[in-house]
Amino acid sequence: MHREAKLGLILLLTPFLLWLSLLIVIPHIDLLLVSLRERVGVGQYEISLGNYLTFFTEPLYIVTFLRTAVMSIFATILTLLIGFPVAYYIAKMAKGRTQSALFLLCLVPFWVSELVRTFGWMILLRETGIISNLLQSVGLAQGPVEMLYNDAAIMVGLVYTSMLFMVVPLITTLESLSDEVVEAGYDLGGSGFSVLREIIIPHAMPGIVSGSIVVFMLCLGNYLTPTMLGGKESLWFTELIYSQFIVRFNWELGAAFGFLLLILSSVIVWGMLRLTGQSLEKTMG
Amino acid sequence: MIPSIPQSRFVTTAYKAYVLLFFVFLALPLIVVAAFAFNDSQFPSLPWEGFTWNWFFGSERPMIGVFHERSILRAIGTSVFVAFCVSALSMVVGLSNAFLFNRYKFRGQSILYVFMLLPLVIPGIVLGISILVASSRLANGLWDGFQWDVEALRPGLWLVILGQFSFITTIATLVIGARLQKFDKTLEEAALNLGAGRLTAIRTVTLPYLAPAMIGAFVVAFLMSFENFNTTLMLVGSDAPLTIAMFDRLKEGSTPLLNAVSLLLMLGSSLLALVMIAFQKKN
């Protein structure tokens, strides 16, 4: 390597390594260390697995953890099922102007913050909200209907908030599927369903995987939607982290929760990549 | 199903209806938020009490409009400041990263690339607490060792900026890297042949080519920073950016003031997006 090139490499590596180590790697090592210590006196700490033990012995924590995981997976599947036909329509059915207009329309809700979107659902779903009033005026309901503060409301909010991150990668991969391949599938006697299963879905796989990973991550780490749309019973794991850190000031337990969340997300993302034979560089990069 | 394969009328109509329904689903919450910004009532809900501009321009209690509400205006200012710092930082580091991964081959590069992508698969709240833990340990260390009290390492704007910068840089790297990958290297070689130095070639040929992606990365970073909630929530001090300030108000109960702020946000980000699209069309 030339001396000049070597200098350039060092100049470019420096900001990258500073960013990576100071803001990503070292903070997570610190987080792990804090989660592995226990307070034994004022300002005195001991290394122990006590925080993780607390997690495994307290049913509320485990139940919340599992509930968050299961509901996030469910929300991801739901987003995929709802979004796929729309993505397919935009990528393969719509042409020219309509196509770009529809694509842009998909992006519009995501130019505003998640808070505004959640606020919109609160106005729609609450007891004095639009849907409740609509049902009453049509005669389907006698009194005000409360649709907020339950798991279904959380689900609506999660699916809504994540939709973009599913639809955009799907459109990108589906656009690269040429019409001739689909036609060939029909010519060879395939039915609509078998063409979908054997041609379209395999082709869309990278998009499905990257969309699902991002959506799953967003649901798992979401704080706003479960807090605003969920009720007292529907606790989300991020709410536990927040309350340990900010309300109880028990950083040790909070750090352990944070690490567990990180492990859960990594395991599921890794599993998803393994199952479909994709890699992180290919799906994200 | 593609247009060139005939399908029954019923199926295509049903399909179109589904797509239409999907867009209604997308638009509904936003329309509702926007509409109730003009409701002449204390609550953003039915019944409709008549049209008013008071939630924007009102200056007397109980209807103080956005433009007279100091705390909201200050929060907007804070958000703009944070977003500007974050976008500038991530654009610069993103540009450098893009060159690093596109132009060089070195040992451990593919591992480092995976590391670069990692912030995308770390939940925002975990990023937030990890930076909170690390910075307060550093602050305590500096205090114990040297009696230095570094305010910037305590929860507050600087930590919020660092926290957002930590993952938005990845996005900026991907946006700029995607365009750099399409760059025709012979153009740069031509500049070198014509006697330009390496840096001059990059400055006069490569960077102008990358400009749309850099502006795109800046705008995306700005929007992401402005909207960010999870990471910010864990690192915020007394100076709350807009999303946190609105969240605190929403918890206490909402007035159409929040709708008015939201409507302004929608207009602002649509404008930004339109500018970006227009700019990219020009190129």
Which residues of chain B does A130 touch, with a Cβ-Cβ cutoff of 8 Å? 32, 45-46
Quick one: pLDDT at residue B187? 83
Q: Residue A125: closest CA among chain B residues belongs to which residue?
A: B29
Among chain B residues, the shortest Cα distance to A238 is held by B125
Contact B114 A26 (CB under 8 A): no
How far apart CA B260 and CA B55 sit, in angstroms, is 6
Tokens read off for B212: 């749309």
Dump pLDDT digits (tens) for A167-212: 988 988 888 887 777 778 777 877 777 777 778 888 888 888 888 9
CB-based contacts of B184, cutoff 8 Å, min separation 6: none
Residue type, A167: V
- Show which of residues 43-72 on chain B sit within 8 Å of chain A, judged by CB atoms: 43-46
Contacts of residue B126 in chain A, CB cutoff 8 Å?
A: 31, 221, 241, 258-259, 261-262
Query: Residue A143 region, left (φ>0) first, then alpha (ψ -120 to 50), else beta?
Result: beta
Residue A46 backbone zone (phi > 0: left; psi -120 to 50: alpha; other: beta): beta
Tally of CA atoms within 13 A in the half-sphere of A194 that contains its CB: 9
ipTM field? 0.85
A32-42: pLDDT as tens digits? 988 888 877 77
Q: How many domains does chain A have?
A: 1
Query: Which of A139, A146, A283, A152 shows the shortest CA–CA distance to A226?
Result: A152
Distance in Å, alpha carbon of A57 to nearest chain B alpha carbon: 23
Residue with token string 């990258």: A16
Return the pLDDT at A45. 77
pLDDT at B168 over 60: yes
Contact B29 A245 (CB under 8 A): no
Does some domain include residue A34? Answer: no
Q: How far is CA B5 from the centre of its chain?
A: 41
What is the arithmetic mean of pLDDT over B54-74? 72
In a domain, A35, yes or no: no
CATH number of A220's domain:
1.10.3720.10
Residues ≥6 apart with Cβ < 8 Å to A241: A254, A257, A258, A261, B125, B126, B129
Stretch A237-254: mean pLDDT, rounded?
A: 88
Classify residue A23 by its DSSP letter: I
CB contact under 8 Å between A121 and B227, yes or no, is no
Q: Does B155 touch chain A (CB under 8 A)?
A: no
Segment B115-153, tens digit of pLDDT: 898 888 888 899 999 999 999 888 888 888 887 877 777
CA distance A37 to chain B (A): 13
pLDDT at residue A230 greater than cutoff 90: no
B245 touches chain A (CB under 8 A): no
Q: Which of A15-29, A95-109, B215-229 has the lowest mean pLDDT?
A: A95-109
* Nearest alpha-carbon partner for B76 in B65, B67, B63, B88: B67
Partner residues linked to A47 by β-bridges: A37
pLDDT digits (tens, 9 = 90+) for B73-91: 888 899 999 999 999 999 9
Residue A241 has pLDDT above 60, yes or no: yes
Q: Which residue of B has its CA nearest to A5?
A: B104
A217 interfacial to chain B (CB closer than 8 Å)? yes
- The H helix count followed by the E strand count for chain A is 15, 2
Q: What stretches of A177-279 adopt beta strand conformation (E)?
A: none
Q: How many angstroms away from the CA of B219 is the closest CA of chain A? A: 11
In the block, tokens 């690490």 appear at A259
pTM over 0.80: yes
Residues 6+ apart with CB under 8 A from A16: B93, B96, B97, B100, B112, B116
Nearest residue, CB atoms, B96 vs list A15, A228, A285: A15
Distance from CA of A110 to the nearest CA of B (A): 9
Sign of the alpha-carbon dihedral angle for A157, B255, B73, B128: negative
Pinpoint the residues of chain B covered by CATH 1.10.3720.10. 71-244
- The residue in chain A having the minimum alpha-carbon distance to the alpha carbon of residue B171 is A285
CB within 8 Å of chain A, chain B residues 225-244: 226-227, 229-230, 233-234, 243
Nearest CA in chain B to A144: B46
User: Judging by beta carbons within 10 Å of its beta carbon (0-12, 13-18, 19+), is residue A108 exposed, middle or buried?
Assistant: middle
Confidence at residue A258, expressed as pLDDT on a 0 to 100 scale: 92
CB contact under 8 A, A192 and B247: no
Could you give the C-alpha distances from A169 to A73, A103, A204, A206, in angstroms and in order?
A: 18, 12, 9, 8
Does A123 contact B18 at a Cβ distance shorter than 8 Å?
A: no
Please measure the distance between the N-terminal and C-terminal CA atoms of chain B and give it in whole angstroms.
35
Residue at A237 is within a domain: yes
Q: Is residue A31 part of a domain?
A: no
Residue B118 has its nearest CB partner, among A12, A24, A241, at: A24
Q: Is residue A13 part of a domain?
A: no
pLDDT tens digits for range B17-39:
999 999 999 888 888 888 887 87
Q: What is the pLDDT of residue B58?
A: 66
Q: Do A133 and B46 touch (CB under 8 A)?
A: yes
Q: What is the mean pLDDT of residues A47-56?
A: 84
Residue of A nearest to B45 (CA): A129
Instruction: Please give, rounded to a whole number of angstroms, the shortest distance from the CA of B201 to a CA of chain A.
Output: 14
**What tokens were used for A47?**
């290394």
Least confident stretch, A234-243, B57-66, B132-141: B57-66
CA distance A176 to A171: 9
Query: Chain B partners of A88 at a C-beta cutoff of 8 Å?
Result: 1
CA distance A117 to chain B (A): 6
Query: Residue A158 — pLDDT band, cuts 50, 70, 90?
Result: very high
CB atoms within 10 A of CB A153: 24
Residues A92/A177, Cβ–Cβ less than 8 Å: yes
- The contacts of residue A101 (CB under 8 Å, 6+ apart) are none
Instruction: For residue A30, list chain B residues with Cβ-Cβ distance below 8 A.
Output: 130, 133-134, 137
**Domain residues for A239?**
46-284
The CATH code that applies to domain B71-244 is 1.10.3720.10
